[in-house]
Amino acid sequence: MRWITTLGIALLACSMTPSTSARASDGQLFVAQSFDDRMLNANPANLSVSTLLNWPVLDDATGITTDPANGVIYWAQTFGDRIYRANRDGSNPTLLLEWPELDDPTDITFDTVGRKLYWTQLFDNNIQSADPDGSNVTIITTWPEVDVPTTLAVDGVGQKIYWAQRFDDRVRCVNMNGTNPQTLLAWPEVDDVNGMALDVPGGKMYFAQSFDSRIIRANLDGTGVEVLLAAPIVNQPVDITLDTVGGKLYWTQLLGDRIYRANLDGSNVELLWEWPVVDDVTTFVFEPSADIPAASTWGLVTIALLLLVAGALLIRTRQASTSDVA
């Protein structure tokens, strides 16, 4: 059985070989800006920026999200009251929903666990969902539970939808089936929230609020509120997105037309882009790299170690048997 040990050693050696593919924290930002109605692809690693889509396909985008598994991006826009889908490179833009099924959408997100789109809309104050192709539109919850919603995020594992609303400055959540609506945070702890993002593994939610120019973090149940960043570092933020694997948060702000990055605890602030590279960004989202070898690498390490142990035990058993016979 020495071949088992040899195979285990070979697999272990291969698994420890430095990879030339992307690291787990590598990824890209998809950025929508209203000045010239463009969607950009921005790479935080090398600071490159390229244009994916232009007007008239993109017009006053209010929310953007991605389905990494299928390599597509979705966005909602107020002009025409529409939701579109396109390939990650901007090709094949497809209209999925429009008025009257959709009316004044303010944000959109994709649940990678349940494979559903969710969005907030202002006209009739509700949160809706649909399948990835735009079919099966369902109202999850509506007024008076929802009142002037501005942004939302979903926890597919915990089966929760979180949203912020401007009417009474509250952050709320509801089960994905529409039951058990709760208020988690209210004024003065939150004020004029424009963007929110979840770190589900870390048990945290993050907010960008423009009234007092702050980036705030809290536990998913609304406790443990922390102010991570404030003016003058932050000035009129309009959206926030997270790279939970890389431990980074990103925000965009109107003053100076800038995109910043910091650690999840608010330290190590970096200015990545500013005008004229970006101009009047309304919404953006971070997508981890599709080429993430970390999980498969550790899987290979585990297999190799198991083979090593199994081989050693088999050899020891054979030696013991040989000794008994002798």
pLDDT computed for residue 292 by the predictor: 41
The neighbouring-strand residues paired with 285 are 30
**pLDDT tens, position by position, for the chain (326 residues)?**
444 444 443 333 343 333 333 343 589 999 999 888 999 999 999 999 999 999 999 999 999 999 999 999 999 998 889 999 999 999 999 999 998 889 999 999 999 999 999 999 988 899 999 999 999 999 999 999 999 999 999 999 999 999 999 888 999 999 999 999 999 999 999 999 999 999 999 999 999 998 899 999 999 999 999 999 999 999 999 999 999 999 999 999 988 899 999 999 999 999 999 999 999 999 999 998 854 444 444 343 344 444 444 555 544 555 555 555 44
Residue 2, pLDDT score:
44
pLDDT on residue 34: 87
Name the average pLDDT for the chain. Answer: 85
CA 152 to chain centre: 11
pLDDT at residue 21, rounded to an integer: 35
Q: In this structure, how many other beta carbons lie within 10 angstroms of the beta carbon of residue 228?
A: 20
Q: How confident is the model at residue 213, as a pLDDT?
A: 94
Residues 6+ positions from 23 with CB-CB distance below 8 Å = 289, 292, 294
Residue type, 274: E
Residue pair 12/301 in contact (Cβ under 8 Å)? The answer is: yes
Specify the pLDDT at position 12: 37
In angstroms, the CA 85 to CA 319 distance is 63
Return the exposure string of 38-54: e unless at least 16 CB atoms fall within 10 Å of the residue's CB, then b.
Answer: bbbbbebeeeebeebbe
Which ranges constitute the DSSP H helices of the chain? 2-15, 294-325
Chain centre to alpha carbon of residue 167: 26
**Residue with structure tokens 């390939």?**
87
The pLDDT, as a whole number, for residue 19 is: 37
pLDDT of residue 232: 93
User: What residues contact residue 21 under an 8 Å CB cut-off, 6+ apart?
Assistant: 291, 293
Tokens of 297: 């690498």
Phi and psi at 151, nearest 5°, equal -160, 160
Residue 68: cis peptide before it, omega within 30 degrees of 0:
no
Q: Domains in the chain, please, with CATH?
A: 1-21+298-326 (no CATH), 27-292 (2.120.10.30)
- Tokens representing 252? 């965009």
Length of the chain, in residues: 326
Q: Which amino acid is at 17?
A: T
Q: Give the pLDDT of residue 94.
A: 97
pLDDT single digits (tens) 88-106: 999 999 999 998 889 999 9
pLDDT digits (tens, 9 = 90+) for 3-19: 444 444 333 334 333 33
pLDDT at position 79 is: 86
Q: What is the pLDDT of residue 290?
A: 59
CB 60 within 8 A of CB 77: yes
